[in-house]
Each structure stands twice: as C-alpha cells, then as structure tokens.
C-alpha cells in the first residue's frame, strides 16, 4: 500500500478533473513502482542513445549531411526542453496518470513517424514530436515519488529508480549498434514504438493516481503565471536546478560527442559504443546504490559534498591525463565511472531540496528543473559538443568547467542560504 502524502503539503484550490483511477487497479509494491517509474524515465535516454550509432546509416539513407542528422538530436532536445516546462503544471491540474498516458501515446506515434521518414525534414518533425512527449516520464516520476514519500524514503526510492534507469544508457547504444548491423536504422524507431506501447499498456492497468483531487491546482493563466513566477524568483531554485543541470551537462558532453570521438579518437566502430557507455552507466548505478544506502544516515548536504569530491577529482584526472598522453583505452573513459558515481550522489539530494522549496506545486517545480537540464543539454548537443568533439582533452576540459561551476553554485548556496531566502521572500 502507498503511504499517506506528507502532511506538510497545504490544501489547494481544485478544478474539475477527469474521473478517478479505475477500481480494477491493484496496488504496486515499492519495487514495482520503482521499475515502472524507471521505465518511464528511460524514454529520454533510449530515444537519444539508441540512434547515435545509426548516424552514418541515416546520412546515407536520407542523403543528409552529418550536420543535418546532428540537428535531429538538437531539435529533439529543444522540443523536450520546451514541453518539459509544462508537463508538471499540467499534471498538477489533471493528475499524474492522465498526462503519462497521453504522452506515451504521442511518443509511440512519433516513433512510427521516424521509422517511416523518407527525408531528413520528416525525421526532424517526428523527432520533435518525440521530444514533446518524452519528458513527461522523468518529470512526473519525480512528482509521484514526492507525492507519496518524504525525506529519506523519497531519497531511497529516487535512488532506486536511478539504479534501474541507469540500465538504459548502457544498453541503448549497444542495442542500437546491433540493430543497425542486423537490420537498419528504421528498426531502431520501431523498437522504440514497441517499447512505448508495452509501457502504455502497463501504465494503463497498473499506474496509480497519486495526486488526490483536493491537492490539484487550477489550470489558468493567472495561477500558472503566479506559480512560475514564484519559482523563477527563487535564487535557491536556480542554484539547485543549476547544480543538477551542470553536472549532467558534463556527462552529456561526452555522450553527444560519441559519434565523432569514438571512431576518430579511439578507433571504435558502431557496435563498440559500450566502451564509453558501460563506465558511465556503471558509475550511475553504483552511485545510486551508495545514495540509496546512506539515505537517512547522512544529511543531504554531506551527501552532496561527497559527490562533488568524486566529480571534481574525476574531471581533473581526465584533463591531466590527456594533457600529457594521447587518448587510449581504457584510460580515456575510466574517469567517467567516477564522474557519474559522484553525479548520482549529488543528484537525489539536490533534486529533492529543489522540490521542497514549493511543496504545493511540486509538478511545476519538477518541470522547471527538467527544463533547465534539458535546455543546457540542447546547447551542449548543438553548440558545445561539435566545437569540442575533435579532441578528448577539450571534452575533458569542458567537463571540468561544468563541474567547477556547479561546485561554485553549491558553495554559494551553502554560504549565503539565509540571505538568498531573505531576498526571495522580500
């Protein structure tokens, strides 16, 4: 059975909403809920990482330039970032479950459209449709966790979701590479459509509605403007969202550079992308396991501090190595294990601290938080990664710069917390 939502959440005005969850639904265990939420969150990385090994095949099939194919990722990220800002607010009004079901249906349609695209412009259009719908899973998963659990219990469940979710970035590029070899690039999007349909069926029958009617918010311009205004005026929100976004950008820099870096710098083929992704995902998994274990035993501040120690050391070692030695395996990718380990320690605490700034509009806060990460990811994919992907040293230096900026923001938030809260309330 699900726990009662935290009592600290104040009652909010309500508006007419769709009918409640069907009575045939059996309650989910904590483990089953974690698997389902992780499955929803996987849509984002699956829709990016599975088709990275197919860039060359897409260029030949659609007679497109490398830049045009790269732009299919950029357009996806921009659409993801633009819509992710609204998923949470919509779910605050109409409920978490309904938004998830509609977004899954849209993503399935977008995947089928990508599979049938005959020009790169059609591919762009359906990638935008995928981007518009893919973000609901990760945003609403965070809101569902905070709807049901408080403090250490929420941190443990979020870490468990991260552990399961971390499988996707490891499996996706390997799976995409083999699909391209044995079938063709269109089969990658057919696989995504099949995965989404299965997830849609499971969510319809098993995903509960976690936001009761008395906690729902009105969906009108005045209330939305007020909600977003509260969030955007909060310096602490910008800092905590920025910490997560910058650390993710340091990893995403390497992921988006993989189609250029791995073949030219390390001599790897499409089926060998695991050299990059397995260290990254192993670090995410182990870091999430560590975060799960220490949740409730140490404060969020201490956990985040330990995570930053791993992040800064890993990024610094990566830069120093490539200053003096040429790129080689496994040394060029090994620091990413420790980087992602630290990222998984920082992420849950920073995420929950941001959500707790505005407990009555957690869905909207989760949207704004995801928007920050995705918007920065789009800039990384479209601008920074193409500039730095010609050298592993440049990539490592970019990662270190992102990490240093995130650490500086965290230290500022710790040093001037009371002053920042005072300026926000004023």
Residue 362 has a pLDDT of 74
Q: What is the average pLDDT across 86-95?
A: 83
21 vs 273, residue with greater confidence: 273
For the chain, the structural domain boundaries read: 30-214+227-425
What's the pLDDT at 426?
Answer: 38
Position 12 pLDDT exceeds 60: no
Q: Give the range among 171-180, 188-197, 272-281 with minimum mean pLDDT.
A: 272-281
- pLDDT number for residue 9: 43
Question: With 60 as the cut, is the pLDDT of residue 315 above it?
Answer: yes
| CB contact at 8 A, 355 and 366 | yes
308 class by beta-carbon count within 10 Å (0-12 exposed, 13-18 middle, 19+ buried) = buried
- Tens digit of each residue's pLDDT (9 = 90 or more) over 373-407: 878 887 888 788 888 888 889 999 999 999 999 99
User: Residue 195: what pLDDT?
Assistant: 94
| CATH topology assigned to domain 30-214+227-425 | Growth Hormone; Chain: A; (1.20.1250)
* Overall average pLDDT of the 112-122 stretch: 93
Q: What is the mean pLDDT of residues 311-316?
A: 95
Highest mean pLDDT among 12-26, 87-101, 120-134, 245-259: 120-134
**Among 227-236, 245-254, 305-314, where is mean pLDDT lowest?**
227-236
Range of weakest confidence among 13-27, 155-169, 205-219: 13-27
pLDDT confidence tier of residue 10, bands split at 50, 70 and 90 = very low
Give the model's pLDDT for residue 74: 83
pLDDT reported for residue 27: 61
Q: Model confidence over 179-208: pLDDT tens digits? A: 988 988 999 999 999 999 999 999 998 888
147 vs 182 pLDDT, higher one:
182
Average pLDDT for 225-240: 84
Contacts (Cβ under 8 Å, ≥6 apart) of 295: 152, 155, 156, 159, 303, 348
Predicted local distance difference test score (pLDDT) of residue 416? 66
The mean pLDDT value for 403-421 works out to 79
Closest C-alpha among 314, 287, 312, 270 to residue 406:
312
- Please name the residue that has the structure tokens 């710790």: 414
pTM beyond 0.75, yes or no: no
* pLDDT the model gives residue 115: 94
Predicted local confidence at residue 11, as pLDDT = 46
Query: Can you give the pLDDT at residue 5?
Result: 45
Looking at 246-255, 310-319, 354-363, which range is the least confident one?
354-363
Residue 343 has pLDDT above 80, yes or no: yes
Asked if the model's pLDDT at residue 123 lies above 70, the reply is yes
């Amino acid at each position: 059975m699900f726990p009662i939502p935290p009592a600290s959440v104040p009652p909010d005005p309500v508006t007419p909403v769709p009918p409640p969850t069907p009575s045939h639904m059996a309650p989910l265990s904590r483990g089953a809920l974690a698997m389902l939420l992780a499955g929803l969150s996987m849509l984002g990385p699956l829709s990016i990482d599975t088709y990275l090994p197919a860039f060359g095949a897409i260029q030949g099939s659609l007679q497109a330039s490398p830049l045009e194919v790269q732009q299919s990722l950029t357009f996806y990220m921009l659409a993801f970032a633009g819509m992710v800002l609204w998923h949470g607010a919509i779910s605050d009004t109409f409920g978490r479950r309904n938004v998830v079901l509609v977004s899954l249906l849209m993503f399935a349609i977008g995947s089928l459209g990508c599979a049938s695209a005959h020009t790169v412009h059609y591919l762009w259009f359906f990638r935008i449709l995928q981007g518009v719908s893919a973000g609901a899973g990760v945003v609403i998963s965070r809101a569902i966790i905070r709807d049901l659990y408080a403090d250490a219990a929420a941190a443990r469940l979020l870490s468990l979701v991260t552990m399961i979710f971390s499988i996707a970035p490891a499996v996706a590029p390997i799976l995409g590479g083999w699909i391209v070899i044995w079938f063709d690039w269109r089969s990658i999007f057919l696989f995504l459509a099949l995965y989404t349909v299965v997830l849609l069926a499971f969510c319809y029958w098993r995903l509960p509605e976690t936001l009761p009617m008395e906690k729902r918010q009105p969906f009108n311009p005045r209330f939305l403007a007020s909600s977003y205004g509260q969030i955007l005026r909060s310096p602490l929100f910008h800092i905590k969202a920025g910490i997560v976004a910058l650390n993710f950008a340091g990893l995403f820099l390497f992921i988006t550079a993989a189609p250029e870096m791995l073949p030219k710098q390390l001599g790897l083929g499409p089926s060998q992308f695991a050299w990059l992704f397995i260290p990254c995902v192993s670090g995410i998994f182990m870091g999430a396991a560590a975060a799960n274990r220490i949740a409730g035993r140490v404060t969020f501040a201490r956990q985040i501090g330990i995570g930053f120690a791993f992040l800064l050391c890993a990024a610094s070692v990566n830069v120093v190595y490539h200053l003096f030695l040429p790129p080689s395996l496994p040394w060029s990718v090994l620091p990413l294990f420790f980087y992602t380990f630290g990222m998984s320690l920082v992420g849950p605490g920073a995420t929950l601290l941001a959500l707790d700034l505005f407990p009555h509009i957690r869905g909207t806060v989760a949207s704004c938080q995801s928007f920050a990460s995705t918007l920065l990811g789009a800039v990384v994919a479209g601008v920074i990664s193409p500039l730095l992907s010609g050298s592993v040293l440049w990539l490592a230096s970019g990662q270190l710069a992102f990490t240093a900026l995130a650490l500086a923001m965290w230290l500022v938030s710790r040093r001037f917390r009371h002053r920042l809260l005072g300026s926000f309330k004023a």
